[in-house]
Structure 1
Amino acid sequence: MTPDEALRAILHRDDVSAILIDGPSGSGKSTFADSLVAARGARPTALVRLDDIYPGWSGLDAAIETVQTGILGPWRRGERGGWRRWDWARNEPGEWADVAPGLLVVEGCGAFGDDVTRSRVLFHVWVSAPDAVRKTRALERDAGGFDEHWTMWDEQWRAYVDRADPERRADIVVDTDAPAAETHTIRGDAGSTVGS
């Protein structure tokens, strides 16, 4: 599904109160999340980026745990969660951040986590792109800051994918490198096909 098709499919739903956007580095998760927030206009939306949570380059699993216990756990209980931001410049924990009220959108590598709980109010979006495309995007985006960490990060990512099989849990799969006219399947409760 193209990003535009996915946005249309998500925006017409009023039964969703949290959206998790997962996929590999450089696939277009942040861009998709920004588009989703912009398309919602003035409606309250709390955007949580895992880039603000990872405790350094080896912190994928720690960030997954923070999302599950510090953000989604309280959200499921009807409470506001929060997390300690990671200060990348100092390579240490930074200030505390509270989750704002509104539709909860969590985006980043590992956003689905290891929790396989299904819920009609929790919507999973998987964003993908070919490996060569996403690596180029990620390395260009971070202007050299990611280069020396790519292999270590990708190993953590692949370990997460091997143990959690996150793409299988997606309600929608977004291909950021797909031609716009392709036919795509929306998984889960929607169970329909979109496209030409």
Structure 2
Amino acid sequence: MSGAAPWPGLAAWVESRRPTGGRTVAIIDGGSGAGKTSLASRLADDLGAQLVSLDAVYPGWHGLAAAQQWLPGIIAGEGHPTWDWEHHCRSGWVDVSADGDLVIEGCGALTPASAALSTATLWCELDAHTRKRRALERDGDGFRPWWDVWADQEHDHWRRHQPWRLARLVLPMPA
């Protein structure tokens, strides 16, 4: 995969899971700050796939589980609502192709239901300290007051769905 060291063969691995005559649906999950978005962006570019980031779908800081309800429809090509983080309200709609390749990334993306509808499932593994440092460096004061609220939702998702067990590939992410 171009620019995605240390996984140069990741796009080929994902494509190898595409059913004959079908489309690729890759789902990337992991904790905040693990590197999901960067990895997914490069993978989507390499595959020529549409990228859906759950950051655009979560309905606010308490919305990790609520975003999961949209996953089957996103995968089916029904699209999804978007969230305006500044004004704290729904702000629009994004169409998703029912035929084109698709990469979905975000914490909460990998559940038993979404895994059953996907062709490739990936878990981004990185220690909690490094993830928190990276997430707060990236998002700063906008995320800082919400870190614990979000982390509690991540832990609930992990406890309920154990997404690393649903992943066909667990990627130890570089710090």
Q: Do these two structures clear the TM 0.5 threshold for a shared fold by scoring above it?
A: yes
Greater shift, 154-163 or 110-119, is seen at 110-119
The percent identity for this pair of structures is 35
Which residue of structure 1 lines up, in the alignment, with residue 31 of structure 2?
Answer: 24
Which residue of structure 2 lines up, in the alignment, with residue 188 of structure 1?
Answer: none
Identify the match of residue 125 of structure 2 among 113, 116, 128.
Answer: 128
Inter-partner Cα distance in structure 2 for 1:62 and 1:87: 15
Which residue of structure 2 lines up, in the alignment, with residue 153 of structure 1?
Answer: 150
What is the CA RMSD across the aligned residues, in angstroms?
2.1
Identify the match of residue 33 of structure 1 among 40, 46, 52.
Answer: 40
Identify the match of residue 74 of structure 2 among 66, 71, 76.
Answer: 71
Which residue of structure 2 lines up, in the alignment, with residue 111 of structure 1?
Answer: 109
Shift of 1:118: 3.5
**Contact 2:17 2:120 (C-alpha < 8 Å) held by counterparts:** no
TM-score by length of 1: 0.77
Inter-partner Cα distance in structure 2 for 1:71 and 1:172: 22
Shift of 1:84: 1.0
* Matched length: 167
Which residue of structure 1 lines up, in the alignment, with residue 81 of structure 2?
Answer: 84
Runs (5+) with no aligned partner, structure 2: none
**Contact 1:65 1:113 (C-alpha < 8 Å) held by counterparts:** no
Amino acid at match of 2:145: E
State the 4+ residue runs in structure 1 displaced beyond 6 angstroms: none
Shift of 1:117: 5.5
Structure showing greater radius of gyration is 1
Q: 1:91 to 1:109 in 2, by over 3 A?
A: same
**Contact 1:17 1:122 (C-alpha < 8 Å) held by counterparts:** yes
**Contact 2:54 2:106 (C-alpha < 8 Å) held by counterparts:** yes
Runs (5+) with no aligned partner, structure 1: 179-196
**Contact 1:25 1:135 (C-alpha < 8 Å) held by counterparts:** yes
Inter-partner Cα distance in structure 2 for 1:39 and 1:133: 27
